[in-house]
Structure 1
Amino acid sequence: MSDFDQEQYQASVFLELTHIIQTNKIPNALLFSGNDNTGRKKAAFFFVKGCNCLANAPIACNACKSCLKIEAQSHPDVLCIDLQKDKKIISISQIREMGLTISSRPNEARFRMVLILNADLMNNQAQNALLKLLEEPPEKTFFILIANKTSLLLSTIISRCRKIKFKPLNDKLIEQYLINNFNIDRPFARIASRTADSDIKKAMMYSNLDDDENKTDWIKRRQWLINTLAGIITTETSDCISKTLMLSQKLSLNPDLMDDTIAIMKTFFRDLMIFKVHPKKIVNLDFFDTFADINRMVRSNKFLEWTKNLYETEKRLASNCSLRLTLDRFFLKIVTNKGNGVYD
């Protein structure tokens, strides 16, 4: 969605930030939580522009020297920290380097901003280094932390931040956006929007709207993965262990696709749980007969257990456990806990 749409959708957030600017009570740190692509980075630059606008308008004028530099991301007092290329964590060295930079006074800004993207991906050492800076922040400097999973942040960091939550985009809003702007068929727009977990860019990628020719065809990958998972569940235990390990091996060969793979698996196991109660509300309606077959064969109490195991697997992967071993562990739990033969 366009930045304008994001600003309109998150109107309450932008009003709160405007109020902070107008009262000139700038917090030492703010924590922007929520999903990807909900306007959090735009809000950070909206805020720093408002704090430093030379026109002294109620909100940033977007025309003065300060606003133009910030908009062009060339302002010397706006620092951005993010994952370095091919890295999965923000390291202590990045935080220490930033600390040295802000140890001196700002160059020209009234308020200097340190923006930490993916703040929840700081390792413990980096978080502890940041905590020291938050405890004794440099003069005229504020921090904005953008995080998807605030549970991964130290409670002491969270307690020092003013918390601002960005609401997720509505599934139906994303679905209609795909239909109106890209002529995506409604059934698949529905699947893509619900699998993307309120992330419009992921929904577009799932609809094969990404311009990158190297991207894997997500539509085909989804069909293959759901068929494979269904096959493992409906096959006798003695016959499917090798298939399970082969699946684990194949998935582990593409670590960059793991987040999207987990997203598909979440919808699959969610659909298993709700099928008996609300069969028409499953995400993967094109696999309706498959879910009907599995529900006839397997006791429903297993579905909740498998779903819990999947979320535990996601946590393990987020903490940098071995991809292959973690997947082996998850799939073997399904095989060994589904019992032998047909249920009910």
Structure 2
Amino acid sequence: MPLAPSETKPETLPSYLPLSELTYIVQTGRIPNALLFHGPRGTGKKQAALFFAQACNCRANSGRPCNTCVSCKKISAGVHPDMIFLGPADNKKIITISQIREIGGIIASRANEAAFRMVCICHADLMNPQAQNALLKMLEEPPRRTFFILAVERTAPLLPTILSRCRRIDFQPLADHEIKTILCTQYGLDPETAHIISGTAGSDLDQALRLSGLNKGNAPDHKSLRAWLIKEICGFLTTPKHQSGFKGLDLSRLLSARPEYIHDAMAVIRTVFRDFCILKYMPDKIVNLDFLSVFKDISKVHSYSRILTWITLFHETEKRLESNSGTRLTLDRFFLSLSLFE
């Protein structure tokens, strides 16, 4: 069923989002039947959808949310009955026709209280063809005062007929130093923590907010996860070869036991291998500066070509995890490959 909106409040949205374009749409009074929010993961598409929904329904009628009226507060708190969020079901990689039909049943009746009802489909590029065709019928004959927002990373999987019915708004990725600035200036994080989190999340602002505890959702305690995982990886890389395979399989087992944490865990592992890669040339630029001395000791016993191979194996593993490969088998393969590599 519909997903809960992000806990990040729209009034705290950073200025890099295309809010001026969304504000202009509201001020003209010409709300499109469908908007396509296109951009990489973590560029604030869901937050912008909340901003737009608030602006469309705000009692102040200024084109921007007042954040004080009943409508704005309900949308911000995620309790407005007419703000519908949809995404892939738990542990699924697609949005199915049954999910779209369920939404169709909901919007067939009048909105409860909104001036404009919103249906936001997160990861709309994961709709299968049957789901897209079902959605197309709704876009062709949308209910009165109901608009759709399709948030996507890619447009290629979508039907041309769907794309032609959407007003496209592009979202640009952020550099990690820009995310660091946002975390420090807008959310009050200390520079050291912001450096680690922004380096771990890369251009993914959503992940950065989750890791910082500002947008928790189902996120682990990043500080504890990171410290434990880096120590485990360092222990694995310094274990004698005849024992490293067993240690790697045990680490794979522990990670696979919490599949909801895999994305964040892999982000931490990525920073470790990246740090090893640049340590020789730019030690002050590594993400995990608090592990600098440990990383230096480990790098002394491994050649640079071996470290580059670690990076290659890691990227292959990421791709497998993003596909339909089983988590446990994929991680087993990764750690065994690391332990067997000469």
Q: TM-score, normalised by structure 2?
A: 0.75
Q: Supply the distance in 2 between the matched residues of 1:224 and 1:64 (Cα, whole angstroms).
A: 45
- Residue 5 of structure 1 aligns with which residue? 12
Q: Supply the distance in 2 between the matched residues of 1:219 and 1:72 (Cα, whole angstroms).
A: 27
The gaps in structure 1 that reach 5 residues or longer are: 340-344
- The Cα shift of 1:115 comes to 1.1
Residues 41 and 220 from structure 1, CA distance in 2 versus in 1: closer, same or farther, beyond 3 angstroms?
A: closer
2:159 match: secondary structure: helix
Residues 97 and 82 from structure 1, CA distance in 2 versus in 1: closer, same or farther, beyond 3 angstroms?
A: same
Residues 45 and 128 from structure 1, CA distance in 2 versus in 1: closer, same or farther, beyond 3 angstroms?
A: same
Matched, 1:116 2:124: no
1:4 match: secondary structure: helix
> Paired residue for 2:292, among 283, 288, 294?
288
- Residue 154 of structure 1 aligns with which residue? 157
- Residue 342 of structure 1 aligns with which residue? none
Given residue 262 of structure 1, which amino acid in structure 2 is its aligned partner?
M
The gaps in structure 2 that reach 5 residues or longer are: 1-7
> Paired residue for 1:31, among 25, 33, 37?
37
Residues 303 and 125 from structure 1, CA distance in 2 versus in 1: closer, same or farther, beyond 3 angstroms?
A: farther
Superposition pairs of residues 1-344 of structure 1, within 5 angstroms: 3-6=10-13, 8-10=14-16, 13-23=18-28, 24=30, 26=32, 28-36=34-42, 39-51=44-56, 57-59=62-64, 77-82=82-87, 86-89=90-93, 90-103=95-108, 111-119=116-124, 122=126, 124=128, 127-129=131-133, 132-133=136-137, 136-138=140-142, 140=144, 141-147=146-152, 150-151=153-154, 154-156=157-159, 159-160=163-164, 161=166, 162-165=168-171, 167-168=173-174, 170-174=178-182, 176-177=184-185, 181=188, 184=190, 186-197=191-202, 198=205, 199-205=207-213, 218-336=222-340, 338-339=341-342
Query: What are the Cα deviations for residues 199-236 of structure 1, in whole angstroms up to 9, with x where unaligned?
Result: 4433423xxx8999x98654344233223323333444
Query: What are the Cα deviations for residues 164-186 of structure 1, in whole angstroms up to 9, with x where unaligned?
Result: 315547243255359x846x5x5
Report percent identity of matched pairs: 39
**Pairs aligned (count):** 324
Given residue 258 of structure 1, which amino acid in structure 2 is its aligned partner?
I
- Residue 3 of structure 2 aligns with which residue? none
Q: TM-score, normalised by structure 1?
A: 0.74
Residues 58 and 300 from structure 1, CA distance in 2 versus in 1: closer, same or farther, beyond 3 angstroms?
A: same
The answer to whether the 8 A contact 2:71-2:80 is kept is yes
Stretch of structure 1 that moved more, 320-329 or 88-97: 88-97
- The Cα shift of 1:325 comes to 0.3
1:277 match: secondary structure: coil
The answer to whether the 8 A contact 2:100-2:135 is kept is no
